[in-house]
Amino acid sequence: MIRMGKNVVLLLTALLLTAGVGYWAWQKYHSVDIPNSTVKPAASMASDTLHFDANAPQLTYLQIKPAEAFPEPLLEPLNARITYNDNYTARVYSPVSGRIVKILADTGHLVKAGDPLLQLDSPDYAQAFSDNVKADVDLLRKQQAFERAKQLSDTQGMARKDLESAEADWHQAEAEALRAKARLKNLASNTTTTEGQFILRAPIAGTISERQVNAGSEVRPDATNPLFVITNPQYLWAIVDLPEVQLGKIRVGQPVSIEVDAYPNEIISGKVAVIGGTLDPLTRRIQVRCELDNAKHKLIPEMYARVTPSADSKSTLPRIPNSALFTQGVSSFVFVEISPGELQRRKVMLSMQGHENSYVKEGLRAGERVVTSGALLLNSGLSGEN
């Protein structure tokens, strides 16, 4: 019995040793995919190339996007503000004081030059209209008086000085009539409803972008804010406060690329129209005005924007996010997708590196697919293979 028990113990010991050796061999020659572990390629055909199976779990942790072509920049994006283009904008004020009776146009309406905007009950307008009528009547009366005086003077029935006095009164009435008509014309109203009613009209054609009055409001000619703002929304300005040290890189007519947060990765073309002639002594900046074409009507005044001056409107470079870059020593690298599952580490030379994106001068072509997220993980896996 004792010998049989020893044989059983020896048999169990041998089985345990065999199982241990087998498990050690399985751990050596088989890998286990762990999502949070360092990426390991299925195989490596070259020192800078990683290969994965089409359904490899490591690929799910990568973001790969094509590198888009953008105009070659001269400077990093400059903060800017979208504003009205004053060459296509009118801020409408009332030339007379009074109370608004009726609003005849609203925000978003398309108007033509001369279209009515509001109806105003204005004693000032009534006074101007009355002055014009009285001046016409007075002119007619004094013209007739001068003609009678001239006839009497011709027959020696009136002294010369009386004729001269009548002529002076006639010319004075003529001047007053011209003044009254000019005053009425300056009010820019061709239509009256009832006595004292004034119609405010659009001075230009365009879209009403702002309305800051309501029926019953009192208005004055010296108001701070305009009653209406009429503009052509296709034409806008981007105002840039340019640092003094970068003034030498900007010129009138230079092309610029404009971006806004509302439409990421969408570029709007423009050009430098005006460079300010004065420098702000406190901020050491110069105001630069850029014209842009808002044909799609996506941009709105007072939006914040980023303006990037371009070296040449015909010269473009691939632009990639900074998350796609990693460095080794003093060189910059990216991972480029050669084919599905095949990723190549490639050295690139940068033309400019901004806060969010970089422009590649050499080593990458526009349209090539670049790993924008997970490049460091891939590089660590490639280093482990080497």
Confidence (pTM): 0.64
pLDDT digits (tens, 9 = 90+) for 145-182: 888 888 887 777 677 788 788 888 888 888 888 888 88
Q: What is the pLDDT of residue 369?
A: 92
Confidence of residue 9 (pLDDT cuts 50, 70, 90): low
Closest Cα partner for 378 from 338, 343, 351?
343
- Between CA 242 and CA 251, with CA 247 as vertex, the angle to 5 degrees is 100
pLDDT of 37 over the 70 cut: no
CB 291 within 8 A of CB 85: yes
Q: Which residue has the higher pLDDT, 385 or 324?
A: 324
Q: What is the pLDDT of residue 47?
A: 78
- Residue 185: which H helix or E strand, with range? helix 160-186
Please, where in the chain does CATH 2.40.420.20 lie?
43-72+316-385
Please, where in the chain does CATH 2.40.30.170 lie?
78-85+232-309
Give the architecture-level CATH label for domain 89-122+196-231.
Beta Barrel (2.40)
Confidence of residue 386 (pLDDT cuts 50, 70, 90): low
Partnered with residue 147 across adjacent β-strands are none
Residues above pLDDT 70, as percent of the chain? 83
Q: Give the position of tokens 């973001």.
A: 63
Rounded Cα distance, 272 and 288, in Å? 7
What integer is the mean pLDDT of 266-280? 91
pLDDT of 308 over the 60 cut: yes
Q: Which of 44-53, 153-162, 298-307, 317-326 has the highest mean pLDDT?
A: 298-307
Q: How far lies 384's CA from each of 48, 56, 334, 336, 346, in Å?
A: 12, 18, 17, 19, 17
Q: How far lies 210's CA from each of 109, 238, 324, in Å?
A: 10, 19, 44
pLDDT of 243 over the 50 cut: yes
Q: Which two tokens stand for residue 313?
A: 């409107």
Partnered with residue 81 across adjacent β-strands are 239, 304
Please, where in the chain does CATH 2.40.50.100 lie?
89-122+196-231
Q: What is the pLDDT of residue 16?
A: 58
State phi, psi for 88 to the nearest 5 degrees: -125, 25
Q: What is the pLDDT of residue 70?
A: 81
Q: What is the pLDDT of residue 14?
A: 60
Confidence of residue 301 (pLDDT cuts 50, 70, 90): very high
CB 169 within 8 A of CB 145: yes
CATH of 43-72+316-385, one of 1.20.1250.20, 2.60.120.20, 3.30.70.60, 2.40.420.20: 2.40.420.20
What letter represents residue 9's amino acid? V
pLDDT of 91 over the 50 cut: yes
pLDDT of 13 over the 90 cut: no
Please tell us whether the domain made up of 78-85+232-309 is placed in CATH 2.40.30.170. Answer: yes
What letter represents residue 169's amino acid? D
pLDDT digits (tens, 9 = 90+) for 179-235: 888 877 776 554 554 556 788 889 999 999 999 999 888 998 888 999 999 999 999
Rounded Cα distance, 99 and 120, in Å? 6
| Cα-Cα-Cα-Cα dihedral sign, residues 189, 194, 196, 199 | negative
Rg (CA), the chain: 41
Among 26-35, 48-57, 119-128, 356-365, the least confident range: 26-35
pLDDT of 252 over the 70 cut: yes
Dihedral angle, C-alpha 154, 155, 157, 160, nearest 10 °: 30
Q: What is the mean pLDDT of the chain?
A: 82
What is the side-by-side strand order in the sheet with 228-231?
89-92, 228-231, 206-211, 110-111
Confidence of residue 10 (pLDDT cuts 50, 70, 90): low
pLDDT of 11 over the 70 cut: no
CB 105 within 8 A of CB 208: yes
What is the side-by-side strand order in the sheet with 98-103?
197-201, 116-121, 98-103, 218-219
Among 8-17, 259-268, 286-295, the least confident range: 8-17
Kindly write down the DSSP assignment for every residue of 191-243, as one continuous string.
--SSTTEEEEE-SS-EEEEEE---TT-EE-TT-SS-SEEEE-TTEEEEEEEEE
